[in-house]
Amino acid sequence: MPELPEVETTRRGIAAACHNATIASMTLRTPKLRWEIEPALPALLAEQPILSLGRRGKYLLISTQPGTLLIHLGMSGTLRVLPHDTPVKKHDHVDILLTSGQVLRLNDPRRFGAVLWHPSQAGAIEQHKLLAKLAPEPFDPAFNGDTFYQQTRRRQMAIKTVVMNSAFVVGAGNIYANESLFLSRIHPQTPANNLSKAQCHRLVDTIKQVLASAIEQGGTTLKDFMSPEGKPGYFVQELRVYGRDGQACTQCGKCINKVIINQRASFFCAHCQPLKKPRKPL
């Protein structure tokens, strides 16, 4: 699934095409992806200038005067900039044709993505039900070690589950949670409230560094993701634990292990990330 670095890579990849652009028309080839697509969108967006292009969590935000499009790439979606006469392929579900002659084309084989509409009269886009409860962005100063430490004091769930919860931090999906915990030398099954303040600070700093590095390298391509230019992400070359069960740890040479936590595959080195016994309550 495209995670925050992949979505940010997509945003950056389509930014030049969207800058000072005007939507000429919109084509919907399917009425529904994960959710129904507002059928009035082609009429609403025709001849509308794009005011801004943003991202919140894993949602791309294309703002216009009538409202904002929220686009989610789902499990295998891509949003690419193409010449307007590029032949339509299977799973090309949505086109946003620009007056420049370029088209933003959404391809989604599994149809787990989404194209949603938030009208301007409904208030600020931050009030949309899918965005309102999201935690701060990972690079926001509001996401810091002190706050994270306080948030985890009453959380006995595995720290990896907390890291992946968008109520605590946005964008640290499965790949990047595994990598961040490894670099922080924290076992993924460690109860969240067992982390020290120093560990919380180290983990927050590492999450920021891992996500920044992944964005710089265009994300991680495992199966489906490609950038708007059709290029793979190269962070996969830096994966230290994710998907490497049975292989040697890059730090100590011991074997990488795999365990299922909250129905998600988790990878770790038991030597570099020892699971310590919970501290006894005071």
Amino acid residing at 71? I
Catalytic residue among 3, 6, 8, 179: 3
Quick one: which of 178, 228, 233 has its CA closest to 203?
178
Catalytic residue among 12, 240, 258, 264: 264
Active-site residue 2, yes or no? yes
3-state secondary structure of 183: helix
Amino acid residing at 87? P
Q: Structure tokens of 22? A: 């005007």
Cβ neighbour number for residue 248 with a 10 Å cutoff: 12
Buried b (16+ CB within 10 A) or exposed e, 197-229: eebbbbbbebbbebbeebbebbbbbeebbbbbe
Q: Structure tokens of 89? A: 């392929």
Catalytic residue among 11, 55, 58, 160: 58
Cβ neighbour number for residue 237 with a 10 Å cutoff: 9
Cβ neighbour number for residue 260 with a 10 Å cutoff: 8
Active-site residue 109, yes or no? no
Q: What is the dihedral of CA 182, 74, 76, 105, to 10 degrees?
A: -130
271 is in an annotated binding site: no
Active-site residue 58, yes or no? yes
Say how far apart CA 275 and CA 261 lie, in whole Å: 14
155 is in an annotated binding site: yes
C-alpha distances in angstroms, 187 versus 72, 76, 92? Answer: 31, 29, 41
Active-site residue 238, yes or no? no
Q: Tell me the sheet residues that pair with 83.
A: 102
Quick one: which of 99, 112, 75, 78 has its CA closest to 26?
99
Amino acid residing at 41? L
Say how far apart CA 125 and CA 62 lie, in whole Å: 10
The residues annotated as belonging to the active site are: 2-3, 58, 264
Residues in binding site: 91, 110, 155
Annotated binding site for DNA: 91, 110, 155
